[in-house]
Structure 1
């Protein structure tokens, strides 16, 4: 594999941000396994010691990427709900955005949803949830855990159970894109929007049929 030379040598400014952007570029091109603090520093064009002032090790870098990924995912979900005052419709639109974002950012999605890098007990986020999504983006996981651990009844109509149903659907669909299952069937990232809208309850009209055959068995997402 040919090693890339730094395309934007770092001189002054926000080194931490530059390192994160280089990390995102690296995982898009070569996958998460290729990520190292040293390689990211080399891409930015700084000394071998400089990146470690911001990220003590690979785990710290992955944690920062998880936070960045969740920030970007949250922003995509919030943007999708702008103008919606109906909580149910807002939740559906946020689910569509979730699936689409995961399909378009598979490597970062894996990091952003990995419990090794994400504290699911936290109730604070970098993205302010709009009023229509309050309670679904901010405190859902801790509240759900408390409900289940309490041994209380779990009626299908309970708001937390309904939210879990929607989240399970969105994460399941996202996983089908990220794992490469859909890619092996010739279903591409370009199809994510249509599929997401359909599984969240919208009747999606037909589109022109694609002529290219599905990829060979063994195809997977990066």
Structure 2
């Protein structure tokens, strides 16, 4: 098979950033299994040794991709909730953004949500959450873990349980896009926005669609 020319020839600047961007393109095109430090370096157009100055091995590159994926996902959630002052509405809007981002970035989403590469106990984030989302973005996982491990009663109305319910819904729908279940039913990435809005409680109006069966061949 003919090998591709470098995706983005590298001349100067931030090599680490260039390697991460090339990695994202590689996993989007060929999947996570195709990712290697050497292949990413080749795509960027640097010497075979250069990438290893930033990523000692494939695991280090995957951890960096997980961080980058979480940064991009967090930015999408913050952007979706920007301007909202109602925590419940902000949380719903961030759920829509979560599903849409996962559907559009399936390979990066898999890495960004894999506990092998990320620390769910951490409260440090590269993106500052607005006040209306701080509880759901910065401290949710550690607080939920502390509640469950304490053995205390967990009422269904507990704010952490309500957040977990919303997160489980968003992640479940996202996983159906990422796994290909929806694609097998003819539900495409373009449908992610509408479906996400519907499952998070919004009445979604009719939209025009071209029938695949009647499209000229």
Shared fold (TM-score, shorter chain, > 0.5): yes
- Cα deviation code 1:34-75 (max 9, x no counterpart): 000000000011111100000000000000000000000000
Residue number in structure 1 paired with 2:127: 127
Aligned residues of 2:8 and 2:22 also touching (Cα < 8 A)? no
* Gapped regions of structure 1 (runs ≥ 5): 214-222
Q: C-alpha separation between the residues in 2 aligned to 1:205 and 1:18?
A: 41
Equivalent position of 1:141 in the other structure = 141
Q: Pick closer, same or farther for the CA change 1:164–1:7 going to 2, 3 Å.
A: closer
Counterpart position of 2:113: 113
The match for 1:220 is none
The secondary structure found in structure 1 opposite 2:135 is coil
Distance 2:207 2:6 in 1: 42
Task: Note the C-alpha offset of 1:210.
Answer: 3.6
Which secondary structure state, in structure 1, belongs to the residue aligned with residue 2 of structure 2? coil
Quick one: distance in 1 between partners of 2:209 and 2:45? 46
Q: Which residue of 2 aligns with 1:44?
A: 44
**What residue in structure 1 maps to residue 24 of structure 2?**
24
Give CA-to-partner distance per residue, 1:67-103, whole Å, 9 cap, x none: 0000000000000011100000000000000000000
1:76 aligns with 2:76: yes
The reply on whether 1:59 has 2:59 as its aligned counterpart is: yes
Q: If the length of structure 1 is used for normalisation, what is the TM-score?
A: 0.94
Which stretch of the first structure deviates more once superposed, 6-15 or 118-127?
6-15
Query: Matched residues in 1 for 2:178 and 2:23: separation?
Result: 19
Structure 2: which 5+ runs fail to align? none
What TM-score does the superposition give when structure 2 sets the normalisation length? Answer: 0.96
Other-structure match for 1:3: 3
Q: Secondary structure at the match of 1:107?
A: helix
Give 1 or 2: higher helix fraction. 2
> Could you give the per-residue CA deviations for residues 173-213 of structure 1, whole angstroms, max 9, x where no partner exists?
00000000000000000000000000000000111244115
1:34 maps to which residue?
A: 34
Query: 1:73-222 to 2 correspondence within 5 Å?
Result: 73-212=73-212
**Where in structure 1 do 4 or more consecutive aligned residues deviate above 6 Å?**
none
Using the alignment, how far apart are the partners of 1:122 and 1:4 within structure 2? Answer: 39
Figure out how many residues of one structure are paired with residues of the other and give that number.
213
